[in-house]
Every structure is written in structure tokens, then in C-alpha cells.
């Protein structure tokens, strides 16, 4: 199983052929892709997202929030910020979802590197 960040989903939906979009395409074909709740919220926030795409996204298996998630995400973000690194709240929430499930994260966003240094997050980069 693998998860993808919003940046990879946007690239995939735009038909990109780079590594991360292709890996997401393969994971979807093999039913190995799961959706991160925060990513789903970000994608559905696009007012121009076609309804059939939104429906397909909502049909994907959704990572479940487990007890203590919000506390762990806050503490993870605090560790990254204490290192003087950038740590947006949405990135911390995405990272914590993947850490909790032991999932790799497909992304184009290099800001996630800070979370690999603060916790056990495996990244697969694209673009």
C-alpha cells in the first residue's frame, strides 16, 4: 500500500508522466493506493474538480484516524519546527497519517524531508 500527497495527485490528474504520477497510476491499477484524509480534503476543495473525479477519489480506501493522531501530529510538527525547519500543518497531518500506517508517501514536495528526519517517514519523490 502507498499514499500520495496532493502534489502527486494533481500531477496524476493532469496526466503527468513523471515517476511519482506513474507510480500512483500503477498503485491505483493494482488497488494498492490509499487516500490520506487531508489530501482528500485538499483535492475536493478545488471548485473546478469534475464530479466524476471527485467521486472516484472518494471511492478510494481512506486511511483511518487512530486514537492519539492529533497529539502525535502536533508533537511531530513541534519536533520539525524545533529543528528550524518548515512544517506546514497540512504536511504534518499528511506525514503523521503515513507514519501511523507505515506507508510510503509519493510526493513532489521537498518540504516533507523535514519529517523524514524527525520521524520514520519514507518518501518517494517525483517530477
Q: For the segment 82-117, what is each residue's pLDDT rounded down to a tens digit? A: 999 999 999 999 999 999 999 999 999 989 999 998
Residues in the chain, pLDDT under 50: none
- The C-alpha R_g of the chain, in whole angstroms, comes to 14
> Which pTM value belongs to this model?
0.94
Domain boundaries, the chain: 2-125
| pLDDT value at residue 112 | 94
How far is Cα 1 from Cα 9, in angstroms, rounded to an integer? 16
2-125 carries CATH number 3.40.710.10: no
| pLDDT value at residue 6 | 97
Amino acid at each position: 500500500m502507498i499514499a500520495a500527497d496532493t502534489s502527486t495527485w494533481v500531477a496524476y490528474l493532469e496526466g503527468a508522466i513523471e515517476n511519482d504520477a506513474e507510480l500512483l497510476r500503477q498503485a491505483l491499477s493494482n488497488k494498492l493506493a490509499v487516500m490520506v484524509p487531508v489530501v482528500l480534503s485538499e483535492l475536493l476543495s478545488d471548485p473546478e474538480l469534475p464530479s466524476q473525479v471527485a467521486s472516484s477519489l472518494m471511492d478510494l480506501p481512506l486511511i483511518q484516524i487512530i486514537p492519539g493522531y492529533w497529539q502525535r501530529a502536533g508533537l511531530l510538527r513541534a519536533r520539525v519546527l524545533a529543528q528550524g525547519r518548515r512544517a506546514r500543518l497540512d504536511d504534518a497531518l499528511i506525514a503523521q497519517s503515513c507514519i501511523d500506517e507505515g506507508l510510503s508517501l509519493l510526493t513532489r514536495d521537498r518540504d516533507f524531508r523535514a519529517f523524514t528526519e524527525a520521524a520514520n517517514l519514507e518518501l518517494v519523490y517525483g517530477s
